[in-house]
């Protein structure tokens, strides 16, 4: 199991855990809208690091983005496996070709 799959499984297991001891449970208890808002905040922080060419911070913020993306997906019961399957389906199709075919 890859690190993303492992993290997604941990996040899934935190559903219904004690918000006092689990950050994930605390975030999930606030609802899907809050999880989405938090993902947006972390994405903006990553954007700022990228724009500043702060590679060290971008690495850190990208990890925050991935964690909060997984929490947002879990909050809406979207499986990481389905997201990965969608990426797999797109494999080998250039974005240029895909856009031209629309």
Ligand X SMILES: N=c1c2ncn([C@@H]3O[C@H](COP(=O)(O)OP(=O)(O)OP(=O)(O)O)[C@@H](O)[C@H]3O)c2ncn1[C@@H]1O[C@H](COP(=O)(O)O)[C@@H](O)[C@H]1O
**Residues near ligand X (CB under 6 A):** 7, 10, 14, 22-25, 64, 67
| DSSP state for residue 2 in the 8-state scheme | -
* Residue 20 CA to its chain's centroid (Å): 23
Least CB distance to ligand X at residue 24 (A):
3
23 vs 31, beta carbon nearer ligand X: 23
CA distances for 17 relative to 11, 13, 39, angstroms: 10, 8, 21
Least CB distance to ligand X at residue 41 (A):
6
d(CA 66, CA 64): 6
24 vs 73, beta carbon nearer ligand X: 24
44 vs 85, beta carbon nearer ligand X: 44
Identify whether the C-beta of residue 25 lies closer than 8 Å to the C-beta of residue 18: yes
19 vs 84, beta carbon nearer ligand X: 19
Q: Kindly give, in sequence order, each residue whose CB lies less than 8 Å from that of residue 45, ignoring residues fewer than 6 positions away.
A: 61, 64
Least CB distance to ligand X at residue 91 (A):
27
Least CB distance to ligand X at residue 63 (A):
6
């Amino acid at each position: 199991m890859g690190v993303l799959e492992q993290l997604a499984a941990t996040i899934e297991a935190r559903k219904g855990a004690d918000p006092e001891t689990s950050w994930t449970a605390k975030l999930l208890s606030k609802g899907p809208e809050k999880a989405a808002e938090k993902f947006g905040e972390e994405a903006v922080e990553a954007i700022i690091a990228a724009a500043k060419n702060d590679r060290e911070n971008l690495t850190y913020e990208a990890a925050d983005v991935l964690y909060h993306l997984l929490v947002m997906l879990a909050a809406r019961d979207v499986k990481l496996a389905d997201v990965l399957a969608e990426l797999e389906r797109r494999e080998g199709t250039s974005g240029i070709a895909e856009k031209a075919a629309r």
